Amino acid sequence: MDADLVKSAAMSPRLPNAAKFMLCLFAALIGVGCQPSQVTDKTGSNVTQLRFATIDELNPNGQTIASETFISALERVSGGRITVTVQTQYGNGAVTAETDLVEAIAAGDIDAGMPATRAFSRAGMLGFEPIEAPFTVTSYDAQRALATG
């Protein structure tokens, strides 16, 4: 990403959400092991085609700009050598769609995606459990039970 994009992201009031998403996205790209396919265009130059998936839309509420921003910046900074095909509604609304997306990324069927961190532990990847831990205690009764054993 270029310096102006990073600077504008840092000034954004949505930085915490964007930062969480980017952490998740980079973990999916790097930690899970993406395997992009190589496509040769008609001019003979190599173009890397990445497959990005989300269980929803890229920006379902008009405020989740991280995916679109990342994809646009990636294509722009690469000078077109990297292009991204986006698949929305991955899993067709199934209860397991997020977990299935994480597993598809891990298997190399999808190169990147936008799953919630909770989907990683459901897929057997436990590294995000500390991030999700505060959200598992959803009532005062559960808090008391946890604190008192």
Nearest to residue 86, comparing CAs of 54, 109, 116? 54
Question: 124 phi and psi, to 5 degrees?
Answer: 90, 10
Which 8-state DSSP code applies to residue 86? E
Nearest to residue 23, comparing CAs of 132, 137, 133, 123? 132
The pTM of the full predicted model, rounded to 2 decimals, is 0.58
Q: Which run of H or E residues covers position 8?
A: helix 3-11
Domain boundaries, the chain: 3-148
Ordered per-residue pLDDT tens for the chain, 149 residues: 444 544 454 455 555 665 555 555 555 555 444 444 555 455 556 899 999 999 988 888 888 888 999 999 999 999 999 999 999 999 998 999 999 999 999 999 999 998 887 788 888 888 877 777 777 788 889 888 878 87
Determine the pLDDT at residue 101: 93
Pairwise CA distance, residues 10 & 2, whole Å: 13
